[in-house]
Every structure is written in structure tokens, then in C-alpha cells.
């Protein structure tokens, strides 16, 4: 399983995305498409990106009853995305159903990744709002283990957690890690950040990088720098 830099395409619509992609003439990219763009433009945006030859991590974070998730995953599988995801909080039964729905008749399927606890959830909110009173890092590892036991391919986590996830879930269990910044760039609203080079050292399999590339004065140069630091 190769490592890659995934660009988080948090654009409001097709026009902004196309303007961004046009700068990368002839290059095959790995793009993360989230709810905003998908809900604004619909599945056609996915087909268009695939027509341009790029790979897609469709970040829709499904969480519903197993049967509904299974059917929704079958639709995403037909869209030919490369990675999609679910909330591990949906239970092992839901994750197993997701995997089933995703698997095509010929046995192939996109990679399936779990979201553990969102980084926006603090220990305090988890305890008070969700009545989960275990330590946050224990909950994250438990959810990761549930995902691995359900046959999923990996989790989204911080690069700082990648080593522990690999220890608990196995070396080949993928860690997809956002929160990446160049040593000399703006941190923005991210709290715990690491450089692409450090993420590589910590064992991240895929890094998800948004604004350090999309908001750079020269996005192509920023992307190349990121690839060089992470893969080089």
C-alpha cells in the first residue's frame, strides 16, 4: 500500500475546484472531497474528478443504521472513489455492513476508513455530552481496534497517534493523518500539528493537507514541497 499526500479540497463549489486543479496540468493527484463540495455539486463532481484521472478520498463520514449505510456505500462504490469513511461510533455491525455494501461483485472495493473521535470533541464534552467516561485516547484506540476487527483498512488520526494505532491494529492498518503544516507556515485553527517530514517519521501512511497547499501563493510548488518532505 503506497504512501501519498492527499489534498483536502475544501472549496465551496466546482468553479473554485476547477481553477485549483487546472494549475496541475498532467499530474495525477489524490484529492479529499468533503461534505461541502459533495452536497453543493452532487455525485457529478466525483465523476468529473475521476475523468481528470485523479484519485478520491470521499470524506462523507457515514453514520446510520447498518442497512442504510450498506446501501449508501454500494452507491459510493459505483462512483468509483478510492477511499470512503464511516464513524466508528456507528458500531462494529455498522462498519461490517458498510464493508459489505462497498464490495463490488468482482470482489474489489474502495478502501474503508473509520473516524474515531473527532478532534473537535474534548474529554470534557465527551464525558458530559456523550456520557463516555473513559479517557479520550483510550476511546480512540478502542474505536480503532473495533474498526480493525470489523475488517476496515484504517483510521483517520493525528500523526502523533499513528505509531500507537499501528502497534494496536497492525503495521498494515492505515493511518490517514490531517493536522500537517510546513515548519514555516501558518497553523490556522489546527492545534496539534506536525510537518510532512515528521509525519513520515511517525509512520503516517497518508497525510491530508489542505490550506498549506490550497491557500499557498503557488499551490503547485507547495504540493511538490509536501511530497518531497513526506515521500522523498
Contact residues for ligand C5P, defined by CB under 6 A? 8, 10, 34, 118-119, 156, 178-179, 188, 190, 208-212
Q: Whose Cβ is closer to ligand C5P: residue 100's or residue 164's?
A: 164
Least separation in angstroms between residue 29's CB and ligand C5P is 15
- Beta strands per DSSP E along the chain: 4-8, 30-34, 55-62, 83-87, 111-115, 154-156, 174-177, 206-209
For the CB of residue 211, give the shortest distance to ligand C5P in the complex, in Å: 3
Cβ atoms within 10 Å of 26's Cβ, excluding its own: 5
Q: Which of 3, 61, 92, 198 is catalytic?
A: 61
Burial class (CB in 10 A: 0-12, 13-18, 19+), 67: exposed
Return the number of the residue (66 or 182) whose C-beta is nearest ligand C5P. 182
Instruction: Say if residues 126 and 136 touch (Cβ distance below 8 Å).
Output: yes
**What is the rounded distance in angstroms from the CA atom of residue 54 to the CA atom of residue 48?**
9
Closest CA to 21 of 226, 183, 232, 223: 223
Q: Which is nearer to ligand C5P, 59 or 70 (CB)?
A: 59
Report in angstroms how near the CB of residue 212 gets to ligand C5P at its nearest: 6
Whole-angstrom distance, CA of residue 75 vs CA of residue 200: 33
Q: Which residue is nearest to ligand C5P (CB)?
A: 210
**Closest CB 53 distance from ligand C5P, rounded Å:** 22
Specify the residue, 74 or 216, whose C-beta has the smaller distance to ligand C5P: 216
Cell of 149: 476487527
Active site residue 50: no
Tell me the three state secondary structure of residue 74.
helix
Which residues are annotated as catalytic? 61
Amino acid at each position: 500500500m503506497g504512501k501519498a499526500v492527499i489534498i483536502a479540497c475544501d472549496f465551496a463549489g466546482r468553479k473554485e475546484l476547477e481553477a485549483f486543479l487546472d494549475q496541475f496540468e498532467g499530474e495525477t493527484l489524490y484529492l479529499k472531497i468533503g461534505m461541502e463540495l459533495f452536497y453543493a455539486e452532487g455525485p457529478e463532481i466525483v465523476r468529473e474528478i475521476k475523468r481528470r484521472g485523479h484519485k478520491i478520498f470521499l470524506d462523507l463520514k457515514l453514520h446510520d443504521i447498518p442497512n442504510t449505510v450498506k446501501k449508501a456505500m454500494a452507491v459510493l462504490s459505483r462512483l468509483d472513489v478510492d477511499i470512503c469513511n464511516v464513524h466508528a461510533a456507528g458500531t462494529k455491525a455498522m462498519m461490517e455492513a458498510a464493508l459489505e455494501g462497498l464490495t463490488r461483485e468482482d470482489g474489489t472495493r474502495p478502501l474503508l476508513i473509520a473516524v474515531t473521535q473527532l478532534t473537535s470533541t474534548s474529554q470534557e464534552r465527551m464525558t458530559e455530552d456523550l456520557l463516555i467516561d473513559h479517557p479520550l485516547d483510550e476511546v480512540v484506540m478502542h474505536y480503532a481496534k473495533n474498526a480493525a476487527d470489523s475488517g476496515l483498512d484504517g483510521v483517520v488520526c493525528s500523526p502523533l497517534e499513528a505509531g500507537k494505532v499501528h502497534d494496536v491494529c497492525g503495521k498494515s492498518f492505515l493511518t490517514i493523518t490531517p493536522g500537517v503544516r510546513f515548519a514555516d507556515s501558518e497553523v490556522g485553527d489546527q492545534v496539534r500539528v506536525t510537518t510532512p517530514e515528521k509525519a513520515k517519521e511517525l509512520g503516517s501512511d497518508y497525510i491530508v493537507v489542505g490550506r498549506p497547499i490550497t491557500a499557498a501563493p503557488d499551490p503547485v510548488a507547495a504540493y511538490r514541497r509536501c511530497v518531497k518532505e513526506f515521500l522523498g
